[in-house]
């Protein structure tokens, strides 16, 4: 299967499952597990949820546990994505000064804000052990995944 075919079949599976799922944690956990398993260059997949005033708290994830369970807006790649409300792609984390390292094996990261009524309510965060693995197809795929979970917030 090509990468595009893997994205398409994963999207169909997630759509089917998430449309029926009512429990937020179960839905988000399913997505983390599927993305980590199906997409080769996704080595850690997790959701952060906005907690009160300008702070992200770690929600469901798949991969190694991280010490970064609470992140302030503006701090690290996650905090910058939350503050700017923009997708943040770092193809080589060694070149990013405002970065919170979870593990030396992580080489790149993509973070997508999940928006509701113009505000960031959560984020999807993906780490990769490869340098520069993220393409426009990844972005397009992950934007679709994020739009599926907006109903939980």
- If binding is defined by CB under 6 A, does position 100 make contact with ligand SME? yes
Considering beta carbons, is residue 21 or 88 the nearer one to ligand SME?
Answer: 88
Q: Which of residues 80-99 bind ligand SME (CB under 6 A)?
A: 99
Q: In degrees, to the nearest 5, what angle opens at C-alpha 59 toward C-alphas 57 and 62?
A: 130
- If binding is defined by CB under 6 A, does position 122 make contact with ligand SME? no
Residues 6+ apart with CB under 8 A from 13: 34
Residue nearest to ligand SME (CB): 76
Considering beta carbons, is residue 67 or 143 the nearer one to ligand SME?
Answer: 67
Q: Out of 21, 34, 109, 138, point to the residue binding ligand SME (CB under 6 A).
A: 109
- Beta bridge mates, 127: 44, 109
- If binding is defined by CB under 6 A, does position 108 make contact with ligand SME? no
* Least Cβ distance, residue 15 to ligand SME (angstroms): 26
Give residue 145's Cα distance to chain centre: 9
- Exposure b/e, 60-81, CB count within 10 A at least 16 = b: bbbbeebebeebebebbbbbbb
Considering beta carbons, is residue 11 or 96 the nearer one to ligand SME?
Answer: 96
């Amino acid at each position: 299967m090509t990468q595009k075919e893997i994205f398409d079949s994963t999207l169909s599976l997630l759509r089917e499952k998430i449309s029926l799922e009512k429990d937020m944690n179960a839905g988000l956990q399913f997505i983390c597990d599927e993305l980590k398993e199906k997409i080769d260059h996704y080595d850690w997949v997790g959701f952060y949820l906005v907690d009160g005033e300008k702070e992200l708290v770690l929600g469901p994830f798949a991969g190694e546990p991280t010490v970064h369970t609470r992140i302030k807006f503006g701090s690290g790649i996650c905090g910058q994505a939350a503050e700017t409300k923009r997708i943040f792609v770092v193809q080589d984390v060694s070149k990013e000064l405002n970065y919170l390292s979870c593990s030396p094996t992580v080489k790149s990261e993509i973070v997508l804000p999940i928006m509701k009524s113009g505000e960031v309510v959560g984020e999807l965060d993906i780490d990769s052990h490869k340098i520069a693995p993220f393409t426009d197809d990844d972005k397009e795929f992950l934007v679709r995944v994020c739009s599926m979970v907006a109903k939980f917030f």
